[in-house]
Amino acid sequence: MQLELLFTPVKIGRLEIKNRIVMPPMGTRYADAGGAVTRRMIDYYVARALGGVGLVIVEAAAVRDDGKNSATLLGVEREDLIPGLRELATAVRQAGARVAIQLLHCGRHARTSVTGKPVVGASAIAGGKEPAPSELSIKEIGALAEAFGEAARRAKEAGFDAVELHGAHETILMEFLSPLWNKRTDVYGGSLENRLRFPLEVMASVRRKAGSDFPVIYRLNGEEPVAGGLIAEEAREASRLLSQAGVDAIHVSVGTAGPLSTAASAPMEVKQGWLTHLAEGVRQVVKVPVITVGRITDPRVAERILQDEKADLVAIGRGVIADPDWAAKAQRGAFADIRRCIGCNEGCLSGLRRPEGVTCVYNPEVGRERSYKIRAAAHRKRVVVVGGGPAGMEAARVAALRGHAVTLYEQESYLGGQLALAAKIPGRGEFGSLIRYYASQLPAAGVKIELDFRVNASFVEDLAPDALVIATGAKPVVPWTITRWTPEAVTVNDVVAGRAEVGQRALILGGGLAGYETALLLAERGRQVRVVEMLAGYKEHPILEPSHALLLFSRLKELGVEIFSCTQVRHARDGVAVVSHEDREELLRHYLFRRPLRERGFREFEERRETTFGDFDTLILALGADSEQSLAGEVRRLKIAEVYVIGDAARPQKALQGVYQGAEIGRRI
């Protein structure tokens, strides 16, 4: 497919952009504790600009110190922040892109623990676990509008080409526009015109402070898909009125807190371009460019959106985190070389909850662009990598790019390890794109791949490599206490790989990602599934990424999967299981999908701490994994200069940690 439109220029106001690709604002946690720009942040954005993005919109920056939800939220609220912002803007422009910055006040989502000041909002309505904010007075509303204008002035002074007003995702601007969060009875509440009054006053302030021709983008929710939220028709009318007021482009997104908090960063289960219909609706009523966003990872999908006239520009967010050269590779037609975002949210979205900030599950260079460049090795070595999972593949790729002679051995007939199994789960097929990326990049880097090859110590001894990387993964835990009574029990790996026959009624011991996803796989195939889980519920599982968990458990509920939390199986035999629980009230309180317990097969639950339910014909074990270290033990006697054990072979872990270990070892050899 020819990319006829994606690389044509476009104008936002007076600002000409070389192509239709936008890097949207995404938080990183790379600012310092005072909200100032850091070298790490500059390097991160410069890499994406060098990679061919037309417009970089720098992450949200607080317009006032009471509007922050994190100490490391970027700031534009003080004059002393301008020099760092200027350095960032200058560096991005010199790298070939236009650069804007998003202006933000978190409203009711600000944190007193961060700002030391009271939390304010459009109305005194609490959201989630946060206390209700103080409702802004009319005088305070005017002062906040002025703060946005001053922030725009500072951005212009720092050399940014444009600003984006963050009026989506339950920020203060969206609070005023949303009928769900704006319950005011004065001129700022009620009708759409009243609810839009504050955003229009902010726009007027920006024009006064930054100039009538300074480009302004407005980001808003195309709808709020919750009861009582902003509907699409109102969002379109708000966009029309904003454009009439001088906004130069509309950036259409979706994002709400609460049950749909993940919508702004949809996981892989959601199709590419899932929000383009909202952008198309806005585009029909405005005369300014419209930017669409929503898990767009394939350049051909982006091109189709433009050709179908659903939007004028396409925002590629997590896609350019995963591969900063996304645009350049797309322009030269090297689609297979793009390290496509798989929508796992493990490094980016979850990274915002970690001190180190944003990362990527299979791009370890994110946030380390300067220090983590691949450099040629001083001496070429013969390297053997055993295991073709994510850790082994990344170690092999990096080592080969550094000039080493690398051979990778995999005992299965395919690459990927646990990722290959994960890709078989409904909605998780994009793990396959990660495997395909490595399958193409490893030979291109010079890695020799040997599949269906089981390596032992004597073989390694004969090879006598300079360096040995053991990435043999992990094996499922199969307790003898279970198999003693039920020798026919199978593991989740057996089920997902198709090595085990599963009857109509399955009992899965253990939750976690493997147990719950296997339950989904079987339920989608029409099986009746019960899961017995020791923990109080899925939120106790640190390995469950929240956005995926939200959709996963919603689907399990729809399919009628029965989940028993706070419960252990004492023994299971002949289709009957005896379960116990530590505390009946705890079980009832955390029971995920409530129906009368007697309907679930429980008997005399009220009188006994040990309960029996039966009628299962397949027992499936999802009890964790143990590292496969047999080869590591065998090669200890060999005289190999460098031996590394990484990934699950070192300890069971997520793909994110495995890939990072592989990247580190590949650079160390």
Each residue's pLDDT tens digit, 481-513: 787 778 889 999 999 999 999 999 999 998 888
- Residue 221's SS3 state is strand
* pLDDT confidence band for 330 (50 / 70 / 90): very high
Cα of 471 vs its chain's centroid, Å: 25
pLDDT of residue 537: 58
Mean pLDDT of all residues in the chain? 91
Return left, alpha or beta for 35; rule: phi > 0 is left, psi -120 to 50 is alpha, else beta. left
Of 99-108, 176-185, 343-352, 637-646, the least confident: 343-352
Closest CA to 155 of 219, 218, 99, 96: 99
pLDDT at 615: 77
pLDDT tens-place string over residues 62-105? 999 999 999 999 999 999 999 999 999 999 999 999 999 999 99
Tokens of 547: 């956005």
CA distances to 17, 273, 590 from 312, in Å: 12, 14, 47
| Residue type at position 569 | V
Alpha-carbon distance of 213 to 236, in angstroms, equals 24
Contact 628, 477 (CB under 8 A): no
Among candidate residues 612, 199, 646, 147, the one with its CA nearest the CA of residue 387 = 646
Percent of the chain's residues with pLDDT above 70: 91
Strands (E), 298-343: 313-315
Mean pLDDT to the nearest integer, 202-218: 98
Which of 236, 210, 205 has the alpha carbon at shortest distance from 223? 236
Which pLDDT value is given to residue 349?
Answer: 84
Q: Residues 315-331: what's their mean pLDDT?
A: 97
Q: How confident is the model at residue 558 (pLDDT cuts 50, 70, 90)?
A: very high
Closest by CA position to 19, among listed 41, 46, 51: 51
pTM: 0.92
- Asked whether the beta carbons of 557 and 532 are under 8 A apart, the reply is no
Torsion angle, CA of 10/14/15/20, rounded to 10 degrees? Answer: -20
Say whether 232 sits in a helix, a strand or coil: helix
Name every residue whose Cβ is closer than 8 Å to that of residue 390 and which is 6 or more positions away in sequence.
Answer: 362, 416, 417, 418, 419, 434, 438, 647, 655, 658, 659, 662
Q: Is the dihedral of CA 109, 115, 118, 122 positive or negative?
A: negative
pLDDT, tens digit (0-9, with 9 covering 90-100), for 512-542: 889 999 999 999 999 999 998 877 655 555 5
pLDDT of residue 599: 39
CA atoms within 13 A on the CB side of 230: 33
pLDDT at 542: 57
Q: Is the pLDDT of residue 380 over 50?
A: yes
Q: What is the mean pLDDT of residues 152-179?
A: 97
